[in-house]
Structure 1
Amino acid sequence: MRTIMGAAVAALMLALPAAAQELRVGLSAEPSSVDPHFHNLTPNHQLRSHVFESLTDQDKNQQPIPKLAESVRAVDPTTWEFKLRRGVKFTDGTEFTARDVIFSYCRVPKVENSPSSLVVSMRAIATMTAPDPYTVIVTTTAPHPILANELSNIAIISAKAAGAPENLTFNRAGCTGVEAWPKTEDFNNLKLAIGTGPFRYASFTRGDRIVLERNDGYWGEKPIWQRVTLRPITQAASRVAALLAGDVDFIENPPIQDLPRIKQNPQFATAEALSSRIIYLHFNYLTETPPPGVTDTAGKNPFRDRRVREAISLAIDRDAIVARIMGGVGVAAAELLPNPLPGTNAGIKPERPNIDRAKQLLAEAGYPNGFGLVLGTPNDRYINDGQIAQAIAQMLTRIGIRTQIDAMTASTFFARRNRAEFGFWLSGWAADTAEMSNPLRALAATPDRNRGMGTTNPGGYSNPAMDAKLFEALTIVDDARRNALLAEASKMVMADFGLIPLHFEVSVWAFRRGLTYTAQMNQYSRAELVQQAAASR
């Protein structure tokens, strides 16, 4: 049995001196919504963690620790007991109870127009009951040992503020008794943006700034910052300029080319951490005919041929991308999660470029003269994403795949990707549970909304043998056995070239001298983790 003890919370709490201060943060990407259930996306999770909390949280290495659940106990392989923290209040003064937990989990599948649903994090839940206001019992459809990790993604919202009934019955097929589910717009206008976290929303001005105020009624260690202003500054050069000019105190993802001068400037400091974010290429498998952007293939979808996918992988020089475009702030990838995280394969090496073999494979697949291709990509979401896409295009063109780039803002990219408007695209994925089942379920599993599988697999990749291995792994309580199965499932996707891993990002933060930051593997910029350096207190 596994127990996460409440004392572990202390590892996340920071002993900061009480002071009236403002922290000004330059964000590299703007959250798509204040609604904590709307979009399974890092900028959204990062923002919501300031205001909305979950039953569990993650430490800097993405290992689960308690949050609104004071303790988590596996009663048996399919039954979990969550003892809720007493004395916690929402920012409107109402008390946090099990009713809020059940209502929040009921609401997740009901979010309209979600670009990437959070239902993937609760797909294993069969029942959820509350024997008393401070206990929640969860049963799963099968043994599901990573439940505590997954639940760190589901924010708890106020049932009372949303007008939920007193007696709410959880049903994984659709909770009953709720006349109207909260709308995303009622979070964006802050009407329902009521959480239990260390901050509360003061304002949300899309495209300009998000202002947070310290929650003085917070149950835990209160942050030093009375006010936090989050400014989306998506252009990297402008973000650095704002830091150097003193317009912001702290920025995420400073551009690679500016890191040397930031580090050499005594007025500034940096923090770094290897992330679990994979940058990858994915394919549209949905039709037998050419998908969008693909030309000169005699009416066929070339991506359905494994030889074409392997040729594309062999055309890519990952080490060159890391060295020249990432400035060394990255690690070439051989699978979807960096070793030695759970479920990865020790000793696996990234594919080495082999132009001659790539051309041979294309010829064997019936494309001796290559074909035309458009690569869809965001140009403001990941580190140097637009430049990476340009490099990929040049590398593919060398083997005869004449590649053009369709680059756009992240918001436009995600909407178009989810409508299957690309035949081939570059994207990124951060494993929010830091173990292999997470990227496999989201990116490589056969899409099945009811089972929470393939939620970010709009290209429709399907490998039934891998699915079976993944499903089996998700029922194994023994860590060693489960991780071995996940490693096998990962090998199957990689051997099939179902999607193409490129590299893992190394996250960098830059800030004015006098501050420190506990770098997070999940890439989150969390204001409560920004401290004053000892000499500055």
Structure 2
Amino acid sequence: MISHRLLLAAPLGALLGLAAALPVAAQRTTVTIAGASPVASVDPHITNTASYNALGLHVFDRLVLQDASGALRPGLAAEWKAVSDTVWEFRLRPGVKWHDGRDFTADDVLFTFERLPSAAGGFVSAIRPVAKTEVVDALTLRLETRQPYPLLPNDLANVAIIARHAAQGAAPEDWNNLRAAIGTGPYRYAAFQSGDRAELVRNEQYWGGAEPWTRVNYRFIGNDGARTAALLAGDVDLIDQVPSADLQRLKRDQRLSVTQSEGVRLIYLQTDFSRQEAPPGVAAADGKPLSRNPFQDQRVRRALTLAIDRQALAERVMEGTANPTGQWLPPGTYSYNPAIPVPAADLDAARRLLAEAGFPDGLRVTLSTPNDRYPNDARVSQAVAQMWTRIGVRTQVEAVPWSVYLTRGQQQAYGIRLGGWGSTTGEASYLLRNVLSTFSQGRGSANFSRYSNPALDALTERAVVTLDDTAREKILQEATQVAIDDVGLIPLFLLGNSWASRRGLHYEPRRDEYTLARSLRPAD
């Protein structure tokens, strides 16, 4: 029997890094935050992206929380343990109230799990290993997995818990008009305008202690220049995704404070694997239609990755705010594979591979990208297009707003696309399960290109049921090598995270890139 037990051995505020309200806070009780990525719905299960998760964390708790470094901390579950190789017990925190005053119980967790398979966001992968959920009593829950599954607490840290009495039978509009948006978190919604702003007010009865901010205005400002201008004008107190072009200038400004952290978000490219015929936007060098999908040939994919100068992308396009990579975790992270280098650009080898694959004259492709989701996303795509054109893959860039891009991507509408994925669990299987696993119920929720590799799937499945941490790490490293060798995706770089706030405030930088009011505190 394995034993993983985490108890409240210290005051909750210390564990979460949540300081009690400081005297200075009494002088300043309202803050305004500007996030770079818009949120269209307050339904916490509608999409698994950083901006949605960050806003949702203000209102909806999870059984397990993560601190700024990614370490697991008690949330709505005060403690949890594995009582056998396949059974986990979660003891819920007593006395927790929903924002409308009703009691939080294990039945709400059960309802949340029941909803996930029909929710759009792909969170069902977190409970896919669970074969049986048993409500022992109002504050005790037992989860039986089909096989040993040591990563269950990590996965549950991504699932927002919602109230049965508020959300059961709720229509999509019931979330944005806030009838269903009742949580247990440190703030509650006062107003929400899709894609524009949310207004949050302090939950005075929060189980973790009342926050110093009585009101939080959470705005969405996608334009980099406008976001920086709002901070400099004093219209907002904190911005995230500090534009790379402004970072050094803001660091020198004595009116501001800039904090940064290493990130776990990979920016990558992925070719279409969903069809045998040529995908949208892909043609022969002379523009004529192709009879086959060139991306089904590994040599073409290898040519594309060899044409990219990652160091130039990180230094020139990202202006030093990203680190080039050949995989999806930073060095020193559990399951990072030190045997995988950052690929060096080799244009001659790329041309040879194209010729061997039957495309000596090259190709024409359209590279699709969002223009308002990731830092410099469209600029990065333009730079990659120039690099590919040098090997004969004449590339045009299609840049669209994230709201359009996400919907079309889910429909396999792109021949090759730019994407991003944050490994917030701090290990390699999170991307393997969601981005590279063969698309099926509970797997491959973000595998929009429909990559499929049975050997890789088998390694992933082996890894996630392996109890021994050292053995599991070796399997994950092997799986990472298989994915990179097969060019299941093309890693570019890992983003760094940055925030800028007005003087007198300090933002604790987070590895998961979430922008949270509870991480913003009056400076000492």
Question: TM-score range, shorter-chain basis?
Answer: over 0.9
- Following the alignment from structure 2 to structure 1, what is the Cα–Cα distance between the partners of residues 297 and 59? 47
Of 401, 416, 429 in structure 2, the residue corresponding to residue 424 of structure 1 is 416
Matched-pair contact (CA < 8 Å) for 1:14–1:529: no
Give 1:383 shift: 0.8
3-state SS in 1 of match to 2:273: coil
Query: Any unmatched runs of 5+ in structure 1?
Result: 164-180
Map 1:196-235 to 2 at 5 A.
Answer: 196-235=184-223
1:28-77 Cα offsets, whole Å, 9 max, x none, are 00123100111111111101100000100111121211100000111111
- Following the alignment from structure 2 to structure 1, what is the Cα–Cα distance between the partners of residues 155 and 173? 26
Map 1:94-173 to 2 at 5 A.
Answer: 94-111=102-119, 114=120, 116-162=121-167
Partner of 2:449: 459
Of 460, 476, 487 in structure 2, the residue corresponding to residue 486 of structure 1 is 476
Query: Any unmatched runs of 5+ in structure 2?
Result: none
Partner of 1:368: 360
Amino acid at match of 1:533: A
Partner of 2:15: 11
Give 1:344 shift: 1.6
Amino acid at match of 1:122: I
Matched-pair contact (CA < 8 Å) for 2:176–2:194: no
Partner of 2:369: 377
- Following the alignment from structure 2 to structure 1, what is the Cα–Cα distance between the partners of residues 274 and 29? 53
Counterpart check, 1:34 vs 2:36: no
Matched-pair contact (CA < 8 Å) for 1:280–1:499: yes
Amino acid at match of 1:512: R
Amino acid at match of 1:11: L
Give 1:340 shift: 2.0
- Following the alignment from structure 1 to structure 2, what is the Cα–Cα distance between the partners of residues 7 and 387? 48
How much identity, in percent, do the aligned residues show? 41
Partner of 1:267: 255
Amino acid at match of 1:249: D
Map 1:284-363 to 2 at 5 A.
Answer: 284-296=272-284, 298-363=290-355
Give 1:160 shift: 2.0
- Following the alignment from structure 2 to structure 1, what is the Cα–Cα distance between the partners of residues 292 and 47? 34
- Following the alignment from structure 1 to structure 2, what is the Cα–Cα distance between the partners of residues 419 and 88? 41
Matched-pair contact (CA < 8 Å) for 1:307–1:365: yes
Give 1:347 shift: 4.4
- Following the alignment from structure 1 to structure 2, what is the Cα–Cα distance between the partners of residues 313 and 251? 34
Matched-pair contact (CA < 8 Å) for 1:38–1:184: no
3-state SS in 2 of match to 1:337: coil
Matched-pair contact (CA < 8 Å) for 1:63–1:149: no
Give 1:368 shift: 0.5
Counterpart check, 1:21 vs 2:29: yes
Of 483, 490, 493 in structure 2, the residue corresponding to residue 503 of structure 1 is 493
- Following the alignment from structure 1 to structure 2, what is the Cα–Cα distance between the partners of residues 52 and 64? 17
Give 1:286 shift: 1.4
Matched-pair contact (CA < 8 Å) for 1:14–1:221: no
Runs of 4+ residues deviating >6 angstroms? none
Give 1:188 shift: 1.3
Map 1:51-66 to 2 at 5 A.
Answer: 51-66=59-74
Matched-pair contact (CA < 8 Å) for 2:39–2:195: no
Counterpart check, 1:283 vs 2:288: no
Does 153-162 or 217-226 show the bigger shift? 153-162
Partner of 1:176: none
Map 1:521-532 to 2 at 5 A.
Answer: 521-532=511-522
Give 1:412 shift: 0.6
TM-score (norm 2): 0.96
Partner of 1:414: 406
Of 490, 494, 513 in structure 1, the residue corresponding to residue 503 of structure 2 is 513
- Following the alignment from structure 1 to structure 2, what is the Cα–Cα distance between the partners of residues 309 and 283? 8
Counterpart check, 1:257 vs 2:245: yes
- Following the alignment from structure 2 to structure 1, what is the Cα–Cα distance between the partners of residues 379 and 21? 40
3-state SS in 2 of match to 1:237: helix
Q: Across the two proteins, how many residue pairs are aligned to each other?
A: 512
- Following the alignment from structure 1 to structure 2, what is the Cα–Cα distance between the partners of residues 11 and 69? 14
- Following the alignment from structure 1 to structure 2, what is the Cα–Cα distance between the partners of residues 131 and 11? 27
TM-score (norm 1): 0.94
3-state SS in 1 of match to 2:368: strand
Partner of 1:171: none
CA RMSD in angstroms comes to 1.2
1:238-275 Cα offsets, whole Å, 9 max, x none, are 00000000000000011111111111110001110111
3-state SS in 1 of match to 2:283: coil
1:298-327 Cα offsets, whole Å, 9 max, x none, are 311010000000000000000000000111
Matched-pair contact (CA < 8 Å) for 1:294–1:373: yes
Amino acid at match of 1:119: V
